[in-house]
Chains A and B, each alone.
Chain A
């Protein structure tokens, strides 16, 4: 029991710390007029293609897909914020503390949950109003928990990638962008997953967001729980696998660092 209490306490403190950090990264002003505006523009950019093609269904399809990509993409920032630990020079101190470092890493980027949920929800409401896409406030309320699910599960993937990239910190933005780009192609956000050859469709299943987008589309279409449930479950399971892999990777990173001396003091 104590072990669980101790770990939860670390998770809670790392979360509080990440939220304090969010306040340092953004002011209300820069968040609303810089970041949120840019996110809205991004969703508009893709949704407009539906207008160009003159297909109202495509307008809605692209809107939902890209709102969800925003949620997932924000969670993907955890790839970068995991590296902040290296830039702060705290890795050796974390290794030498009597707790597992994975709890810190699982908690320290949680601020993206807030950011991702807020921006994607605002994006959904604003852009659907701009394009007259019939999404009611009630539907939006139903979508929000699913967006959060996408964020949390994608966060698992992102922390896993973050743990791997800890060994190659210079590649963080490249890896982050390439992953986000691949997800934009295969996850069913811009074209249905079935558009691609079967091997690519299978590959798409490893991304939690693939299942999340499916669940969100079904929710908006008014599908029942029997239809939405399996996708929600798949999203959660895939996310859980990534979170587990992330936890293992952080421990392995610490162990291999102890062996090869790659965790420098003052590093």
Chain B
């Protein structure tokens, strides 16, 4: 049995303030997805792709328009209580915390909402505070916390009921690189404990680093499920090189490199597009040997990958 099963799931929103002028927006279009028990599954897509809508339905905060979904074998529409007991939800960002309260109070309160007896609520709150490294701040108000501390508290909150399934919705949004790195270790720990994790993100590098499998989603449609290796290859393949003060003669030589697809040159500043990792290496070597010192490689954006791999131009296909 998959921990999460999604079949032909569709969600239509009505937008617009006036009842008569309401417009239908298709947020999810017959989506299918299976998350195996114990895996870390990424849901990768740009903003507005439908990731959060899917997670909302799975966490019973939203009803589907059509189709079905289940978590640990329980239907998200008919067996909400069974689903709710088995899931933990973790948001990224500042929202979802009581800023005037302390972590200890917040966790005990949520423990009660998850129907844990006081003894368990108290010990588990203390354990989680310890685990996410907030012991020193357990009795300080959240309003004084840094972004990273709030994020750790979010995670502790999501774990209060010891759920077998965790939904992490853009958990590293706005996080500094060090915290984001720590976060990756935490996800690995969750997996080691045998939990199933569904993580939404628009960051390819993050998905590639922590996920066992990655499902690509765009405009409410699933484009496919890939391995992190494939995503890593895309990132490498579509890498581009940017350099300054490049002599015209050198530009001509780079243009001839196998795998270079396009060059934009403007008064010695150059952007080299490639379709192969070897082409990046070759172009870099030429530039360095040619005495160019101001240069860098840039990873492609998710939109660029979607355009090249799936031929989807988000600007055009709406």
Contact = CB atoms under 8 A, between A and B. Distances in A.
Interface of A: 6, 9-10, 12-14, 16-17, 20-21, 24-25, 88-90, 92-99, 104, 257-261, 263, 265-267
23 contacts: A6-B115, A12-B112, A16-B109, A17-B101, A17-B106, A20-B105, A24-B100, A88-B96, A88-B98, A89-B94, A89-B97, A90-B97, A92-B59, A92-B96, A96-B84, A96-B89, A98-B114, A99-B114, A258-B62, A260-B13, A261-B62, A265-B52, A265-B169
B113 A104 contact: yes
3 nearest CB pairs, A to B: A89-B95, A24-B100, A98-B84
Interface centre among B81, B89, B96, B112 (most CB of A within 10 A): B112
Given A92-B61, A265-B55, A266-B96, A98 B109 contact: no
Given A104-B113, A260-B14, A265-B169, A95 B60 contact: yes
A104 B109 CA distance: 9
Interface centre among A9, A24, A97, A263 (most CB of B within 10 A): A97
Contacts of B14: 260
A261 B56 contact: yes
Interface of A is mostly: helix
B137 interface: no
A57 to B, nearest CB: 45
Interface centre among A13, A16, A96 (most CB of B within 10 A): A96
A13 B60 contact: no
B108 interface: yes
Contacts of B95: 88-89, 266-267
A97 B81 CA distance: 8
A16 B84 contact: no
Contact of B114 (A12, A97, A263): A97
B126 to A, nearest CB: 16
Nearest to B80: A98
A98 B222 CA distance: 30
A258 B93 CA distance: 22
A258 B101 contact: no
Contacts of A24: 100-101, 141
Contact of B102 (A20, A98, A257, A265): A20
Contacts of A99: 112-115
Contacts of B117: 9
Given A9-B118, A17-B105, A20-B105, A93 B96 contact: yes
A235 B203 CA distance: 58
A24 B111 CA distance: 22
Interface of B: 11, 13-14, 52-53, 55-56, 59-63, 81, 84-85, 87, 89, 91, 93-102, 105-106, 108-115, 117-118, 141, 157, 161, 169
A75 B61 CA distance: 30
Nearest to B102: A20
Given A99-B114, A261-B13, A90 B101 contact: no
Nearest to B169: A265
Contact of B91 (A14, A94, A263, A266): A266
A97 B105 contact: no
Given A20-B105, A104-B113, A98 B61 contact: no
B59 A13 contact: no
Contacts of B55: 265
Nearest to A22: B100
A258 B98 contact: no
Given A96-B60, A96-B61, A98-B161, 17 more contacts: A13-B108, A13-B109, A13-B112, A20-B100, A21-B98, A89-B94, A89-B97, A90-B97, A93-B89, A98-B84, A98-B115, A258-B60, A258-B61, A265-B91, A266-B91, A266-B95, A266-B96
Contacts of A10: 112-113
Contacts of B157: 93
Contacts of A259: 63
A71 B126 CA distance: 38
B249 to A, nearest CB: 53
B155 to A, nearest CB: 13
A14 B105 CA distance: 10
Contacts of B108: 13
B63 to A, nearest CB: 5
Contacts of A96: 59-61, 84, 87, 89
A93 B169 CA distance: 12
A43 B13 CA distance: 50
Contact of A88 (B99, B111, B113): B99
A4 B109 CA distance: 17
Contacts of A89: 91, 94-97
B118 A97 contact: no
A261 B59 CA distance: 13
Contacts of B102: 20
B93 A94 contact: no
Contact of A263 (B61, B97, B141): B61
Contact of A266 (B60, B93, B106): B93
Nearest to A104: B113
B100 A14 contact: no
A95 B113 contact: no
Contacts of A21: 98, 100-101
Contacts of B97: 88-90
A265 B61 contact: yes
